[in-house]
Amino acid sequence: MKRETLTYEQFLHQWASQVLPYLSPRDLAAAACACRTLSYIAAGVTSRRTADAARSLERYQIPFLDSTISPHPYSHFIYTRHTIISSPSSFSQSWGGEASKGTVTDCERLQGSSSCFGGIEVGCDCDSCKQGRCSCWSGMELGVFKECGESCRCGLMCENRKTQAGIRIRLNIVRNERKGWGLHATEAIRKGDFVCEYAGEYLTTEEARIRLKTYDELSSKGRISPALLVVREHLPSGKACLRINIDATKIGNVSRFINHSCDGGNLKAVLVRNSGSLLPRLCFFASMDISEDEELSFSYDSFSSSVMGRSKAGVNKLRLVALFDAEVVFE
Ligand SMILES: C[S@@+](CC[C@H](N)C(=O)[O-])C[C@H]1O[C@@H](n2cnc3c(N)ncnc32)[C@H](O)[C@@H]1O
């Protein structure tokens, strides 16, 4: 078979089309300055990225909108719909509909698996779960609530899995000169509706401390916008029984763009436990009716101290000890 010889221009085009989608916004901008071909391909990559932060992994596209005087790149991150277990192997993911390739999806599959967390086999055996009749249902107002999961007989269409199907509402990410990027609703949301999971990587406390140090240095130079969240679930005695570190800085979903609001904002954080999984997920619900175009926010430093709940194990107190920043205070 005769091999076609590529011209230099064709070779560059082919190579750049494969490599540029994996670059961070900053590196992409640098590559775009090199020559006309790279500038052309980088423009295509950027327009696909800005069209959908969720990279086709959610029901609707979640576009970036930047109408500020000094346009600014968003922090580069790999998209995951659910919190995954951190892996030492490096992840890579391209944009624009090719997102489901790669290790993240493997980890997402693991996330639901009971064996992954030394699971607790306490699921229901209903065919169709109904409030009051399924053992997995618990009150929404309690702060910690339970959904059906891996160890249940019911399927993914079960009514008691409302936070497991990803983001079902229309959102966009808007740039503000002062706050940076922020997550906005582009449709009205009713009080109590599920908005999004705070998806990222579960970290050990040791790894979280190492990363916080690095984030501290990088954020002081304005290089990154850290999104490492630490939640402690307390027993009635007040002693911490479970500390959860979720880092959405490198791998996460659009919750990493939710900004702080001093007045408590319009979102409420709830720990959701899937039957069969040991680690809970942190999910945001609307704490009030939210109108179209309103920014979504919560209080970084006070929202969770007011989240109290009673579970089968007793009274749980969800307390946020460190959020989003290098200015982290450990107890
Ligand atoms: C988790 S990130 C939120 C998304 C971030 N705005 C971005 O552009 O990626 C947290 C950072 O956003 C900024 N931020 C959040 N809320 C803010 C507010 N109310 N006012 C000013 N900056 C805010 C701070 O720089 C903070 O470190």
Residue 309 belongs to some domain of the structure? yes
Cα–Cα dist 225/256, whole Å: 9
Number of other CB atoms surrounding residue 223 within 10 Å? 12
From the CA of 75, give the closest atom in ligand 1: 9
Is residue 255 lining ligand 1, measured as CB closer than 6 Å?
A: no
Is residue 324 lining ligand 1, measured as CB closer than 6 Å?
A: yes
- Residues 314 and 233 reside in one and the same domain: yes
Cα–Cα dist 259/217, whole Å: 21
CA of 179 to the centre of ligand 1 (A): 5
- Residues 14 and 84 reside in one and the same domain: no
- Residues 112 and 198 reside in one and the same domain: yes
Strands (E), 19-160: 64-65, 78-79, 84-85, 144-147
Question: Which of 76, 99, 121, 133 is CA-nearest to residue 249?
Answer: 76
State how many domains the chain has. 2
Is residue 225 lining ligand 1, measured as CB closer than 6 Å?
A: yes
Query: What is the number of alpha carbons within 13 Å of residue 7 lying toward its C-beta?
Result: 3
Cα–Cα dist 321/301, whole Å: 8
What is the DSSP code (8-state) at residue 21? G
Residues 107 and 206: beta-carbon distance below 8 Å? no
Residue 3 belongs to some domain of the structure? no
Q: Which H or E run contains 236?
A: none
Per the structure block, which two tokens stand in for 276?
């069969």
CA of 307 to the centre of ligand 1 (A): 23
Is residue 178 lining ligand 1, measured as CB closer than 6 Å?
A: yes
Is residue 260 lining ligand 1, measured as CB closer than 6 Å?
A: yes
Per the structure block, which two tokens stand in for 145?
């609530």
Per the structure block, which two tokens stand in for 91?
């992840």
For the chain, the first-to-last Cα distance in angstroms comes to 69
Length of the chain: 331
Domain that holds residue 141: 78-323
Residue with tokens 């089309």: 17
Radius of gyration (C-alpha) of the chain in whole angstroms? 21
- Residues 25 and 91 reside in one and the same domain: no
CATH at 111: 2.170.270.10
Is residue 273 lining ligand 1, measured as CB closer than 6 Å?
A: no
Residue 254 belongs to some domain of the structure? yes
- Residues 137 and 263 reside in one and the same domain: yes
From the CA of 248, give the closest atom in ligand 1: 1
Residue nearest ligand 1's atom 13 by CA: 179
Alpha helices (runs of H) in the chain, residue ranges in sequence order:
8-19, 25-32, 36-51, 103-111, 205-220
- Residues 21 and 88 reside in one and the same domain: no
Cα–Cα dist 43/25, whole Å: 11
Is residue 179 lining ligand 1, measured as CB closer than 6 Å?
A: yes
Which of 64, 65, 225, 230 to mutate to test ligand 1, by most ligand atoms within 8 A of the CB atom?
Answer: 225
Residue with tokens 């916080």: 212
ipTM over 0.85: yes
From the CA of 260, give the closest atom in ligand 1: 16
- Residues 98 and 182 reside in one and the same domain: yes
Is residue 180 lining ligand 1, measured as CB closer than 6 Å?
A: yes
Residue with tokens 């790999």: 78
Question: Which of 50, 43, 268 is CA-nearest to residue 175?
Answer: 50
Instruction: Per-residue pLDDT tens, the chain, 331 aa: give them.
Output: 566 788 888 999 999 999 998 888 888 889 999 999 999 999 998 888 888 999 889 999 999 998 888 877 777 788 999 998 876 555 667 665 444 444 444 334 334 443 334 445 567 888 788 877 788 877 654 456 788 888 888 888 888 888 998 999 999 999 999 999 999 999 999 999 999 999 999 988 888 889 888 888 888 877 778 888 888 766 556 655 677 889 999 899 999 999 989 898 999 888 888 888 878 889 999 999 999 999 999 887 643 332 223 333 333 344 444 333 322 223 3
Give burial (CB, 10 Å; 0-12/13-18/19+) of 141. Answer: exposed
Is residue 77 lining ligand 1, measured as CB closer than 6 Å?
A: no
- Residues 126 and 170 reside in one and the same domain: yes
CA distances from 234 to 239, 246, 324 (A): 6, 17, 21
Residues 80 and 86: beta-carbon distance below 8 Å? no
**β-pairing verdict for 281-286 and 180-185:** unpaired
Residues 233 and 158: beta-carbon distance below 8 Å? no
- Residues 269 and 223 reside in one and the same domain: yes
Strand partners, 283: 197, 270
Residue 12 belongs to some domain of the structure? yes
